[in-house]
Amino acid sequence: MRKIILFSLILLLTATLNHVKAQDKIVDEIVAVIGGHPILWSDVENQYQQMRAQGGAGDPVEMRCRIFEDLMFQKLLLYQSEIDSLVVGDDQVDSELDRRLRYYIQQFGSQEKLESFYDKSVVEFKAELKEPLRQEMLAAQMQGKITESIKVTPSEIKAYFAQLPPDSVPIIPTEYEIGQIVKQPPVSNEELSLSREKISNLRDRVLKGEKFATLAILYSEDPGSAAKGGELGLFGRGTMYPEFEAAAFNLKNKGDVSEIIKTKAGYHILQLIERKGEYVNARHILIVPKVSPTDLVVASSKLDSISDLIRLDSITFEQAVKKFSDDPGKVNGGLMQNTNSGNTRWPADELDPKVFFTIDKLKVGETSRAVPFATEDGTQAYRLLYLKLRTDPHRANIKDDYDKIQEWALNKKKEAAMGKWIEEKAKTAYIRINDRFKDCELRYDWNLDGTAVK
């Protein structure tokens, strides 16, 4: 049931962040070239170290060989995506990059802790990660194109499950189905006006001669750059919010100060530090409009009242979702969608710990009191959590786990198709590896130097 995956078993961002921390410890070299795309020793080693850190066990040589071949596969997909003229837009890359960074900020507890650990601002991360992420997304798009027509029939699913040895049928852990009713108070016009007035006053102070860097340290609400006097470091086009980027590249002379810019993050002013070709280094001050504490209290009280109505059977959870929730996902009955699986089932280890802590105290069919959380764009909000289902651990069976078994059977069929595709494309692509990996027992025939490698 093993899936062919991009970048081994690890998110691109994890490996790259690990590289940021360890790059001065690894002597790098090119260990392979696939269709003109190099694989570095650090690409392999950083993923190996990350797998070990996450508890991965096995023979070190075999683990590195497996990671190496997964990277070969990714580069071959990237090479073919260029031949097929596939495109991934900046907006797609930015959206995915923001999603991944939000996840890691959540894991560290705050943006400031993430930036402190790696000694880099989120802006610097985005500049470094954007092009590698674009390549990963192109490779994923290419893989999807190759396998999009592959399906499995009910008879194939049953046949796949029947051939599994009884002792190898996986144990399905406890899973949850969770609904939510969200109340997200809007930022008031008064708060927007106050934030704009604050940034305007700071701009006036800079124009009258006060140091931009000092004001950034004192007042900027960007934790990643404030301590550095607002300095962002060099960045190129396509790495920032469009409005922010346009203002930065319109500054001509060192020390020039921008007009006030509004982005999704809030209000900014910028000061040019230097330009180097197609790159700019600037300082900025950010003021973030906030939801008022009063509005948050009102939202929390409103949700508690809704929870009482549900508990008293005056309204069903589903009816309350339709009537009261601000969540765009309420069209799905308010059920939280697991992006990893594409369905509404959640293993405990994939849940936000705060969500798990809340629902673990509920009985099936119960609704929580209002709990605070941050939306995807970082806005403060409240929600009710509803436990619709809690399963018991069990060995997979067709009756209860048909969707999972279908997924396993489909992955096996796709893996076989991808294996054939690799072996066909390896006959025409330029592929060379150095001596570090020449003795690896590769899973596929890569036709190295015209000789099949088994």
With H, G, I as helix, E, B as strand and everything else as coil, classify residue 46. Answer: helix
For position 450, what pLDDT does the model report? 55
For position 402, what pLDDT does the model report? 92
For position 5, what pLDDT does the model report? 34
- Same CATH fold, 174-186+292-392 and 12-159+398-437? no
Rounded distance, CA 138 to CA 393, Å? 37
| Residue whose structure tokens are 């020390």 | 255
For position 13, what pLDDT does the model report? 53
Threshold 0.85, pTM exceeds: no
Q: What are phi and psi of 372, to 5 degrees?
A: -75, 150
CATH number of 189-287: 3.10.50.40
Q: State the average pLDDT for the chain.
A: 87
Q: Are 284 and 269 in contact (CB under 8 A)?
A: yes
Which amino acid is residue 23, in one-letter code? Answer: Q
For position 8, what pLDDT does the model report? 34
Residue 38 has pLDDT above 50, yes or no: yes
**Inter-CA distances, 70 with 65, 74, 117, 372, Å:** 9, 6, 29, 40
Domain ranges, ordered by start, for the chain: 12-159+398-437, 174-186+292-392, 189-287
Residue 48 has pLDDT above 50, yes or no: yes
Count of beta carbons in the 10 Å neighbourhood of residue 101 = 18
Q: pLDDT-based confidence at 10, cuts 50/70/90?
A: very low
Mean pLDDT of 323-341: 87
Q: Which of 220, 228, 241, 232 has the alpha carbon at shortest distance from 97?
A: 241
Q: Which of 329, 312, 315, 314 has the alpha carbon at shortest distance from 383?
A: 329
CATH number of 174-186+292-392: 3.10.50.40
CATH number of 12-159+398-437: 1.10.4030.10
Per-residue pLDDT reduced to its tens digit, 87-132: 988 878 887 887 788 777 767 777 777 888 888 887 888 888 888 8
For position 107, what pLDDT does the model report? 74
| Residue whose structure tokens are 């674009």 | 134
